[in-house]
Amino acid sequence: MKHTISYGKGNIALYRSYAAPLTGLKPVAESAYHGQPNTIFAVDLEVEVLGDVFLPSYTEGDNSRVVPTATITNFALQKALSFTGATVEQFLHYLGGEYLTKYADMEGLRLTASELPFHPIPLTSDAGQTTTPSDRLLAPTFDVYSTAELLINRAGAQELESGLRRIKLIKLTGSAFDGFPRDEFTTLPERVDRPLYIFMEMGWHYTDLQDGLSADVSRYIAPRQVYDVIAHTFHDFVSMSIQHLLHEFGQRLLARFPQMSGVWFRAQNRLWDTAAEAPDRPDKVFMDPRPPYGHIRYAVKR
């Protein structure tokens, strides 16, 4: 028999205060994002341990070489305090190396992190003329967040994927869907201009892994900058379908970030149903659509 095994720990919520600030990013025309102070550096971490040496735990109940998952959790929390980097990708790379140094039986690890975003609360001056972000008061946000997954073994980093999750964007005009075949089952009207509401997640890879892991972040692809390119594209591109839109996303991202080797998208059409409208007026009332939704996948590589 051939076995494939792994074990680990998930949902390790980790909050590090006063981590190194993210500075030195290459500016992107579509984005005002130039970095962040990392007053709170927070991730939801998953650690997957790889190694055939742990097979006796499955086949014989022999746990003599198994590092307990509670130990794996405590190790990550303690090591986060000595992390000197500024990005999620750097943290995974650092943590993976620390695990492999400490635990000789681990052949490799798959480390996954989802950003837990916190943003400073803007405070106005007493006169109400200027606004300054607080250096001590922050609030969690519950919209789009970044992710990273790193596969590392004793030869070093092997695979890295960065991404964005929970993207939700509604565009009121400048999208279409028409020219599709019709038959006796078709009830969808053709729309030359329609609102378009998408839910989306995406991921990208680097041609050179080190661009995503190096302390020199001049070639790092900042997730916030990726999001801003997506938003600008959605704003100004007149799409004939969601497929058409995803293709344009991919083309613009590969043009903007030459260090990006490829990008994928999974999108859902969550367009609201029209509940009320008046002739010769642009305002309408919408409601949530019925549960079935369209989904589209697209990936492009150089």
Catalytic residues: 9, 69
Cα atoms found within 13 Å of the Cα of residue 273, Cβ hemisphere only: 9
Main-chain phi, psi angles of 25, to 5 degrees: -70, 150
Residue 146 pairs in a beta bridge with 164
Tell the residue number behind the tokens 């000197």, with chain if given. Answer: 84
Nearest CA to 20 out of 73, 109, 94, 72 is that of: 94
Nearest CA to 259 out of 201, 288, 219, 299 is that of: 219
In angstroms, rounded to a whole number, what is the distance separating the alpha carbons of residues 19 and 43?
Answer: 12
Main-chain phi, psi angles of 287, to 5 degrees: -140, 165
Q: In a 10 Å sphere around its CB, with 0-12 CB exposed, 13-18 middle and 19+ buried, how is residue 254 labelled? A: middle
Question: Is the separation of the CB atoms in 286 and 275 below 8 Å?
Answer: yes
Residue 165 pairs in a beta bridge with 145
Q: In one letter, which amino acid is 136?
A: R
Nearest CA to 257 out of 201, 200, 202, 207 is that of: 207
Main-chain phi, psi angles of 236, to 5 degrees: -105, -5
